[in-house]
Chains A and B, each alone.
Chain A
Amino acid sequence: MPKVYIDDDVFEFEGRPKILEFCLQHGIELPYFCYHPALSIPANCRQCLVEVGQLVLNRETGQPELDAEGKVVVRFFPKLMPSCATEITDGMVVRTHRSSALVRRAQRENLEFILLNHPLDCPICDQAGECPLQELTYKFGPDSSRFEFVKVHKPKRIPLGPRVVLDAERCINCTRCVRFTEEISRSRQLTIIQRGDKNYPFTAPGMSFDDPYSMNTIDICPVGALTSADFRFRARAWEMASTPSICTGCARGCSIYIWTRHNRVERFTPRHNPLVNDYWMCDEGRLSYRRLNENRLDGPHVREFEGLRAASWEESLRRAAHLLRSAPPEQIAVLASASLSLEDLYVIRRLAFEVLGTPHLDFLRHEDPSFEDAFLRLRDRTPNRTGCELVGISPGPDGLPVQQWPQALRDGRLRLVLVFGDDPLGTGAWPVPEAGEWIVASSHWTETASRAQVLLALCTHAEATGCFVNQQGVLQRVRPAKASKGMDRTLVPEMGKSRLDHHATPFDRWWGHEHYFDCRPGWELAQGLMRELGSPVDYTGPEAVFAELAQAIPALRGLSYAAIGLQGVRLDLHPQPVA
């Protein structure tokens, strides 16, 4: 096995790894800016320079030559080499800042150069707190600057497109954004204009940076040069909590972090997941976080006279159960949403088939061919259609498929519709019916919700725990990123915590309750209805539901929340009936 000598350690390696990647994999931190694992390597920031040499081998014996003091002789390259672009070869000797004063000096001096014309406006920069330039300057940079001149001024606060704002003075010309548009989104909407220290990224004249993936450049920008028009100045990294989750904008289910402050969702950012979305997500998915804050249904409601009034959970569940009992099973239809979790779907299925005894169970397909592209976006706009199929959300024997329900409501074959999480009227999937009664579990005020006899408040995926299976068959988990009413976020171990959650004084704690909603996850609502209807189900939590699911569905066999982890699991998705 070939060997490489890094500082005072010997490593074996395979293939032709680059020094930087190899060091990072082995826990040796090297500073860098322009390198990004998903992009080409231009080696232009020059921050990761290291000393590189080769052992001098005796031509006859093939053994390393020793000097008079018995030390191995190393022939070093005359110049420092960029570790991001230099391939490791057998017998290579690498000296990083840990062992080389020359490398330490080069790193320090390069940071002095980078900061020369940087505005150093960390106190007002949106990137403060999550800025590699800030961090690496503390770790590797100079303690002061010798630059005594007016800095180069460049354009500030320039909208590059509808979603990305440029502050050219902060740009360090790493070209990650330009390479992203060339290599990943392939829109080629960005380039570097000007020369030398006047360089900055920009669009061609008359062009707008409206690439559907444009906001990924904000994530990969190592400084605050590219910021989100939506998020600018809204929150600081340390004030927010980030929780690993998924985007529910389409059937890709991109891995994301949900960032919350004061229990309000402030942004989505992509989370690296090679199984699903690599490092990226689309702009539309990213901005779909707004839906989690707006038009939310707070607590259950029941219809009284012509209007809906707030009611207690007990009352609303009792009213719902009464309605369900009063209709013959074959006249009840249960509509589940493909945006609900596997756990929700499973308990709803049990409610429909085992307790209500109706054969009419189905879900709506929400497809938008114009949304699909060759990268991440898919025409199926629901995150868990594969999950619906896996759990068996489909009509039972003699059950009507969902397309026939509107007609069946009109001609009286159906009388009561129980809707979980979907909005068939608002989305235009169904014509507005003249007949029928509705029990609706919804997270938002929707057209369907407004017609309900009983309205149950449903959690969004940001307030619940559950699993989703994307179109490629990757099973991922969501965790509660924000608390619902009655839930103490400090007691939920899976919820991301900000500094304000668990540090400092009581004045630092999250305040206000306007972003807390009284809602419950789908499985819990279905279980509540089952209990009201006399079924003795008792799931202690979503994990217990999943444990049962893992028993019932062959594709999930052997899985647990722990096994799914942060990356998710690719399922073997041969169509299998529910046991």
Chain B
Amino acid sequence: MEWKRYRALLLPPIPNLRDISVYEAHGGYEALRRVLTDPAWSPERLIEEVKASGLRGRGGAGFATGLKWSFMPPPDGRPRYLCVNGDESEPGTFKDRQILEYNPHLLIEGALLAAYAIRASAIYVYIRGEYADWIDRFEEALEQARARGYVGARICDTDFGVAFYVHKGAGAYICGEESALMESIEGKRAYPRQKPPFPAQRGLWGRPTTINNVETLANVPLIVRHGAQWYSRIGAPKHPGPILYGISGHVNRPGVYELPSGMPIETLIYEIAGGVRGGKRLKAVIPGGSSTPPLRADQIAGITMDAESLRAAGSMMGTAGMVVLDEDTDMVRVLLRIAEFYHHESCGQCTPCREGTGWLVKILRRIAQGEGKPSDLDLLLQICDQMEGRTICALADAAAWPVRHTVQRFREEFEARCRPSLVAVPETIPS
């Protein structure tokens, strides 16, 4: 599909869409009603439909959503849960809040469909506490939905009922990690859990649980409304669907743009976001949030925003939160800032992350101050080696990847900061 003809589905330009009447007038909750009232739409069929659509999670890891749902064990009559991950907090990522603000009913409908598919008895929407306005608006929408009989017992006059809770996070990056999120809901310190067991086996309060990102669930009503075939034809074949691209950094028009997946990075920067600010040249792009490896300007030609293309280019899709950096950017300082973030946000549970993130910052700070040693660069890479894949959750990886790839891809810039300074050597007086 030509992107210029693409009409927004997740964030359509409809005034006051967060009002349930407007949402219903534009086909809202039809998908839910159809699934609940049409006997052909069994939970299994819904899972198959989502599988067929090719929907992949929008929270960063990009796992196939239908497949994740199918991991839930058969019902045993006891509670099972759906968690909606709205703890968006990776630097460069700011798209879920747009759904919470402008189209909250789409999320509610998507969450209800997912709860039906996995036979959840309760839905927990975990929203970052700092998103105070969006929480208020979402809760308002939830009240409207409850008043219309979309939330609670006997939804749409069927036997299906589900409890719906909003949980406000206290604002720690780690709460966005799915198992830490569950610990937080359970009222504990948000430490990630060792896997296995996976949440589908043992989640909230020890019961089967599925955790999906806000944007992921917002896609589900579209799949039911228009069909998996239609959906799978949007954007990149292996990573289909609309994507909310959050473009920030040195561009003329930063913002959240809804477009099909698989958009060329160059198109996003130069056509959608209005090009690099001040007419400067591009230096680097961080494609999917701060944890994804940055690409040099000469690496982005022909690269599209989908998992396969970005993997081939040595980076990741992440959350499609793209950070654009111009030619004046000091990559050492950028990397120091990113490393400081992960150091600050490490929960401290696992040794390699707790200690490694701080060590990385200390070395990077020394380099940024012009006091780096030539051996520092190799030490940075070795510390990354010591961190990657050795912790319970992926925060250590998220902290190490930007360091590894920025140092490797912009090495000359780092080396320049690590040269011994030229100090005049006093002339020795021969005896």
Contact = CB atoms under 8 A, between A and B. Distances in A.
A80 B390 contact: yes
A11 interface: no
B392 interface: yes
Interface in A93-138: 106, 109-110, 112-114, 116-117
A82 B195 CA distance: 10
A234 to B, nearest CB: 31
A195 B191 contact: no
Given A195-B172, A196-B354, A199-B354, A113 B386 contact: yes
Nearest to B387: A113
B194 A173 contact: no
Decide if the interface of chain B is mainly helix, strand, loop or mixed.
helix
**How many A residues are at the interface, by size bracket?**
35 or more
Interface stretch (A145-153, A243-251, A411-419, A480-488): A145-153
Interface string A4-44: 00000000000000000000000000000000000001111
Contacts of B356: 113
Contacts of B390: 46, 49, 79-80, 106, 110
B348 A198 contact: yes
A110 B354 CA distance: 11
Contacts of B75: none
Interface string B379-393: 100000010011110
Nearest to B347: A195
Given A79-B390, A195-B172, A197-B358, A46 B351 contact: yes
Nearest to A80: B390
Interface in B317-360: 343-359
B354 A197 contact: yes
Contact of A195 (B194, B344, B392): B344
B358 to A, nearest CB: 4
B346 A196 contact: yes
A172 interface: yes
B189 interface: yes
B148 interface: no
Contacts of B349: 42, 44, 173, 175
B26 interface: no
A442 interface: no
A191 to B, nearest CB: 6
A198 B389 CA distance: 22
A47 interface: yes
Interface string A135-173: 000000000001101001000000000000000000011
A197 B347 CA distance: 9
Contacts, number: 91
A192 interface: yes
Nearest to A182: B188
Contact of B351 (A85, A172, A194): A172
B281 interface: no
A46 B352 contact: yes
Given A43-B392, A85-B194, A173 B359 contact: no
Nearest to A41: B194
A47 B347 contact: no
B91 to A, nearest CB: 16
Interface residues of B, number: 29
A534 interface: no
Interface string A315-351: 0000000000000000000000000000000000000
A195 B346 contact: yes
A117 B194 contact: no
B358 A194 contact: no
Given A80-B390, A191-B189, A44 B351 contact: yes
A175 B189 CA distance: 12
A136 B345 CA distance: 29
A416 B189 CA distance: 65
A181 to B, nearest CB: 13
A25 to B, nearest CB: 21
A196 B348 contact: yes
B348 A192 contact: yes
Contact of B359 (A82, A110, A147, A198): A147
B389 A80 contact: yes
Contacts of B172: 195
A96 to B, nearest CB: 16
Given A49-B390, A85-B194, A199 B348 contact: yes
Contacts of A147: 359
B362 interface: yes
B177 to A, nearest CB: 14
B214 to A, nearest CB: 25
Contacts of B347: 195-196
Most chain B beta-carbon contacts within 10 A, residue among A78, A80, A194, A195: A195
Contacts of A78: 389
Interface string A194-215: 1111110000000000000000
A547 interface: no
A533 interface: no
A42 B343 CA distance: 21
A326 to B, nearest CB: 72
A117 B358 contact: yes
A207 to B, nearest CB: 16
Nearest to A114: B351
A146 B191 CA distance: 29
Most chain A beta-carbon contacts within 10 A, residue among B189, B354, B390: B354
Most chain A beta-carbon contacts within 10 A, residue among B345, B347, B351, B391: B351
Contacts of A196: 343-348, 353-354, 357-358
Interface of A: 41-47, 49, 78-80, 82, 85, 106, 109-110, 112-114, 116-117, 146-147, 149, 152, 172-173, 175, 191-192, 194-199
Closest 8 CB pairs of A and B: A199-B348, A196-B346, A113-B355, A79-B389, A43-B194, A197-B358, A109-B386, A149-B362
Given A44-B351, A113-B356, A116-B358, 7 more contacts: A41-B194, A46-B351, A114-B355, A117-B358, A196-B346, A197-B354, A198-B348
14 contacts: A42-B349, A44-B191, A44-B392, A46-B350, A78-B389, A80-B389, A113-B351, A113-B354, A172-B351, A195-B344, A196-B343, A196-B346, A197-B354, A197-B357
Interface of B: 172, 189, 191, 194, 343-359, 362, 366, 379, 386, 389-392
